Chain A
Amino acid sequence: MRLATVEERIVLTSRRLKAQGFGAEVLALGLIVVLSVLVVPPMLGVVYSAFRKGPTLFEGTTTLENYRSILSDPNTYGTLADTFQFAVATACLVVAFAGILAWLVERTNAPFRRLVYLAIVVAFGVPVILQGMGWILLLGPRNGLLNVVLRTVLGSHAPTIPLYSMPAMVFVQSTVLIPTMFLLLAPALRAADPALEEAAQMSRAPRWQVLRRVTLPLLVPSLMAAVLLSFIIVVESFEIPALIGTPARIFVLSTEIYGRLRRPSPDYGAASAFSTLMMIIAMGGLYLYQGVTARAHRFTTVTGKGYRPHRLELGPWRWVAGVLTGGLSLILTMPVLILAWGSFMRVYRPPSIAALSGLTLENYKTIFASSWIVQSARNSFILGAASAVVVMVMTFAASWLVLRRRNPLTKGIDYLVTLPLVVPGVVLSLAVLRTYLVAPVPVYGTPLILLIAFVVHYLPYGMRFSHAGMIALHPELEEAAAVGGAPLAVRMRRIVAPLMWPALLAGGLFVFLASIRQLSLVLFLAGPGNDLITTTIFSLWTEGNITEVAAFAMPVVVGVILIAAGLNKVTGGIGVQVDHYR
């Protein structure tokens, strides 16, 4: 066999590279078509729907009537005011608590540091809807454990902690968000370059000056980012406002939309108009968030060798800190503990010695005997796995195209993948419902419509994992294979995919876990035939089956925690999964 000369090889290689470029174009084109079909119709649908009056999207008239009716209703302004009050108060409270807790755990010698981490991981694994139910069992006016304790200690005239009120709603939502914000802030505190503080010490600054002039100002961007992210999450949240706000007649945008659709005659127009308001708020929040995180990244500097920062010796304050760390750990785990208690009760009674006689395994038997409940668990796991695979495959291709082939087509892909970030779960649920009721594909009422909603919703999150993994992959690794003669498909299979595997696995596990916990996204899409764990829990609760909910919750919580622990192991730190907004 004759060996090719150098010139021949160069020609061959350049031809090969050209051919591969063409393959990438085809891939980009295919992806952009799929993404457009998935992402664009619901987005346009919900906006269009806000300007339509009629039974379905295409019947009726185009009108401004929806906006006129919601803007002339004084209740709308009450809802907006309550939404902002709820979101702002919660965001500030949660960041204050999570920030102090993260600082105590990462930078001081406060007691119970391991316990805090344990409580955070457990609380992170409990779906929000279950945490809310736990808090109702703890704070309910008549049967709530804490109110019962209060009455036992202080007598029957003891004041009742008012659960169904704005302050309680803020408190419960805060405790629900503490794990997420803690996991966001702890790495920032841990990674802070200790040399910056030491340099201040060497500049003769006393300890409080170091804290005031160096440590705190350096943390401001991270704290601001956490506040804004909390604000967005709370505006979009549904579970706590539905469980606690609605009985108290406090409505926020998400429950308002839910309420408009759960009437005997659903008002799609008004719900869509509210949805556009919610999207505008989410967009504004994300815009500010990106500005703040850009600033935060500017603050990260090259660090020297990894000297572990000294933990601050708290001295006599250590016990005050212990009350905080121990107390917050208890607060984070109390809801799941009370649910565990409730799962063994035939008729729910708050924990007491007398109630011990009523312990039973009956609820677990009922749960596992119910084909509807078991089926919903199976649905959740299968759909979660399917969403994870679809999202990661698509974002893997998307991230490769966006980073390796910069052209208008791939720029379009980047936009399409990121776009769903501005659509809150409730809104996307409505948008998908509204669109696929008129679409010429019969997916309504099947698991497929849930898959579509999950994929659209989690595309930006999956992209975050894929993008991070792809950026860490030096292009020369692929180029070396290309020059070595490997065509595109081989390079992807043999070089890119294996190296990206940890990022894809972490992203997939994140999508899987998040979709199992998801409620607001599937509110209007799941029903008899395609029920999920969360919707089943919600219906059981609405029917008053508290003890069965609790029994169903236990295996779910244990499963989710085990998978979360697995994710932690794969990604080498649970931190990566919460910093998902780009």
Chain B
Amino acid sequence: MAVAALEVDDLRKAFRLRRGQVAAVKGVSFSVQSGKIFTLLGPSGCGKTTTLRCIAGLEVPDRGRMRIGETTVFDAEGGIFVPPHRRDIGMVFQSYAIWPHMTVHENVAFPLQVLPRSIRPPKKEIRTRVMEALETMHMAPLADRPATWLSGGQQQRLALARALMANPKILLLDEPLSNLDAKLREQMRFELKRLHVELGITTIYVTHDQTEALALSEEIAVMRDGVVVQQGTPAEIYRHPRTDFVAAFVGSANLLDGKLLAYGTRDAMGVVDVGVGRDLEGVLSGECQLGEVVAVSIRAEDVRMLHPTGARNQNTVAGKVKARVFLGDVVDFLVDIGNAEMRVRSVGSSTTFEIGDDVLLEFPPLQCWIIAARSHSAITERGET
């Protein structure tokens, strides 16, 4: 296998505050294959931006090693620290950091103008390359405008053009879409994906928005409290969360606390008492011992809503519709099942239920995911973001 484009090993970083230290990153390791989009996803304060800034060289880590391609850019033990301007990295900041004292053209030309004289292209070539870059961003007519006259979306594209100007090996994106409105955000998401397909540049993406992460990435590392709690493809993270935190943070999962009663009819299946009168069968995620406290995670769109007259299968629970939200393509319901409220997202015929209707919820066993309940603060964590 080829050398990874980026290798991060046991990265640690603490900030000294007035009262003591705060560990922001507590031993993060991952590697990114060349040409992939890799996302660091997590709530605010989880250490994702600090990790990104360490990769950029804007923060000096306390411990660990980092390699970009075959070059070691940081090694705490070896005393190696390559400063940011020699790391061959492009970066888009959350605030875009467009220089207000320069025009659009000057902003984009800057990375070429500051190259060492020996490798700096002649002025004429800089001009043509800048115009080409602005052309691909549909910004050529704005070239001589003061950069502060641009709209949010235009500033974002300008920042991107600037970051890509000197053909960096790695592109770092720090919540690049968070300052845009919803419509523009969706548009830029496609734009980023298209650009990545065209350029094939290795990209590290930081966000707290799970939709963005799922839509854009080829690999996601979910972070919490300075550590990576789960790493995998978007589908793995979404379908098979390893902890209740990941389940709650990525997508809107229903979590039911319970106790593992017995192993199921098939391999890797288990039966859980969730205290609603009926036991649920689901897929066991890891090593859960019999009698242990567990959580059953099921996505809102996987729950099926039936008429109460229907046949009661094994994984069905009776409930009452408490709220109904019409979203256009889908309808969301909140269903009271006695000791918990379930979110149900439905399309088609079951959208006709009204508030107060008695319903029967069916949880398909293969969509029920039994995880060890390590932390019960998952929901409140989500509320903070």
Contacts and interface: CB of A to CB of B under 8 A. Distances in A.
A203 B58 CA distance: 12
A200 B93 contact: no
Given A199-B91, A201-B85, A203-B162, A299 B101 contact: yes
B101 A199 contact: no
A204 B97 contact: no
B14 interface: no
A218 interface: yes
Nearest to B59: A310
A304 B93 contact: yes
Interface residues of B, number: 33
Given A204-B85, A218-B101, A198 B93 contact: yes
B86 A301 contact: no
Contacts of A199: 91, 93, 97, 99, 159, 162
A162 interface: no
A195 B93 contact: yes
A63 interface: no
Interface in A93-145: none
A499 interface: no
Given A203-B166, A204-B114, 17 more contacts: A193-B95, A195-B94, A196-B97, A196-B99, A198-B93, A201-B57, A201-B83, A202-B58, A202-B89, A203-B165, A204-B86, A204-B115, A218-B100, A220-B101, A302-B95, A302-B179, A303-B95
B95 A217 contact: no
Contacts of A301: 95, 98, 100, 148
B81 interface: no
Contacts of A403: none
A2 interface: no
Interface string B225-265: 00000000000000000000000000000000000000000
Contacts of B308: none
A302 B147 CA distance: 13
B69 interface: no
Nearest to B114: A205
Given A213-B110, A304-B93, A298 B100 contact: yes
A202 B99 contact: no
A305 B48 CA distance: 13
A218 B98 CA distance: 12
Contacts of B91: 198-199, 202
A298 B148 contact: yes
A492 interface: no
A198 B100 contact: no
A214 interface: yes
B110 A195 contact: no
A193 to B, nearest CB: 7
Nearest to B179: A302
A414 B100 CA distance: 31
B100 A205 contact: no
A301 B56 CA distance: 23
Interface of A: 193, 195-196, 198-206, 209, 213-214, 217-218, 220, 298-305, 307, 310
Interface in B147-205: 148, 159, 162-163, 165-166, 172, 179
Contacts of B95: 193, 195, 301-304
A27 to B, nearest CB: 39
B99 A214 contact: yes
B94 A202 contact: no
A370 B165 CA distance: 76
Contacts of A298: 100, 148
Contacts of B35: none
Contact of B111 (A196, A204, A304): A204
Contact of A200 (B49, B100, B110): B110
Contacts of A302: 95, 179
B85 to A, nearest CB: 4
8 shortest interchain CB distances as A-B pairs: A304-B95, A199-B97, A203-B111, A195-B97, A304-B94, A205-B114, A202-B91, A201-B84
Given A198-B58, A213-B110, A298-B148, A206 B97 contact: no
B351 to A, nearest CB: 35
13 contacts: A196-B97, A198-B56, A201-B85, A202-B84, A202-B91, A202-B172, A203-B110, A205-B111, A206-B114, A214-B99, A218-B99, A302-B179, A304-B94
Contacts of B162: 199, 203
